[in-house]
Amino acid sequence: MQAIEVDTLTKGLQSYFVEKLNNISERFGNSKKFEEVEWMRDSGKHGGGSRFEARDLKIFNRASVNVSQVHYEDNTDKQLSSATAISTIIHPKNPHVPSMHMHISWTQMQDGYAYWRIMADLNPSIKNEADKVQFNEMLKKSSGKYYEEGSMQGNIYFNIPVLKRTRGVSHFYLENFNTNDFEVDKAFAKMMGENIIDSYIGIIENDIKNNPNFTSAEKEEQLAYHTLYFFQVLSLDRGTTSGLLVHNENDLGIMGSIPSHINRELLASWVELMPKPQNKLLLSLLKVLPNEIPTSVDESTKRKLASCVRKHYIKYPQALSMQAAGTVIPDTVNNHS
């Protein structure tokens, strides 16, 4: 079964990435390994998954590497038959080291239609042209003839219209990817995942070596960027929203992309830029955030934020059309953030 093969692929990429991140912790941090956390869909009846979360706070602000698989062969009322994904976000502590997001998934519908989704984006707090060039060159070389399409879709998906900018400096997004040769496409997805991981690990190593220290002003710059990241994920990201709307069994996993702290005053300054009713979403998020700066986003707060998103789109379903461009089938496993 193809879903089983993709599950093996995503778990392999998860192990590959976690091992390399643990090596970073051993070389530059406190040598604390990522820890596994599991979750179940309908008590395991319809799948579930596991995420490896960072524990080395010397190196990571917040980081998780998630693999999940949901399946509904027993429920033909659902469009979705199965969906398998690896979705990961790394937020380093050092502001000179960029964040990175990757999502690779295989979705199968009950009618037999199936496709891949391959995403990767580099998100620096402090821009570094060398990092951008390295990541872009890797994407170009790896994706070949698909680079133009992937970069175009990525720039559209990660655009933040009200702030007149994109989330990061390098974006790649192949949606509905299927050449009708599963084995070739599976090999392509594996190659993309490994190359993205290898490139990013190289960037982490170089940036830590070249910038082992940082100033309070640079941390403030990072806090501002993390606020923008928070804003994009919770107001525009279709993958995050779809995951939260379909159930509440993996809220902490879906919200694992949120940095540990943001600046609520900066976030509040964007309310007046928001179109209706999205201004109400942002106001509801602000209400559950602690009244402090830096503004902590702990597990309790993440659960409250997830609830805010669910309630908003249940009340204003038309607002889903105001999110980032891209197709998301409900319950497609992991967030895109």
Backbone φ, ψ for residue 110 (5° rounding): -65, -30
Q: Is 259 left (phi over 0), alpha (psi -120 to 50) or beta?
A: beta
Q: What are phi and psi of 12, to 5 degrees?
A: -65, -45
Q: Does domain 2-215 have CATH number 3.30.70.270?
A: no
Amino acid (one-letter) located at 106? W
Backbone angles phi, psi at 27, to 5 degrees: -80, -35
Global pTM value: 0.93
Of residues 76, 160, 89, 87, the one with CA closest to residue 328: 87
Contact (Cβ atoms closer than 8 angstroms) between residue 143 and residue 196: no
- Whole-angstrom Cα distance, residue 188 to residue 182? 10
Cα–Cα dist 119/150, whole Å: 8
Three-state secondary-structure class, residue 25? helix
Dihedral sign, Cα of residue 299, residue 303, residue 306, residue 312: negative
Closest CA to 106 of 54, 51, 198, 183: 183
List the one residue out of 244, 230, 229 whose CA is nearest residue 320: 244
pLDDT (tens, 9 = 90+) of the chain, 337 residues, equals 798 999 999 999 999 999 999 999 999 999 999 999 998 777 666 678 999 999 999 999 999 999 998 876 656 667 777 889 999 999 999 999 999 999 999 999 888 889 999 999 999 999 999 999 999 999 999 999 999 999 999 999 999 999 999 999 999 999 999 999 999 999 999 999 999 999 999 999 999 999 999 999 999 999 999 999 999 999 999 889 988 887 787 888 888 899 999 999 999 999 999 999 999 999 999 999 999 999 999 999 999 999 999 999 999 999 999 998 654 433 344 444 4
171: closest CA among 240, 239, 119, 224?
119
* In contact, 137 and 243? CB cutoff 8 Å: no
Q: What is the DSSP letter of 177?
A: E
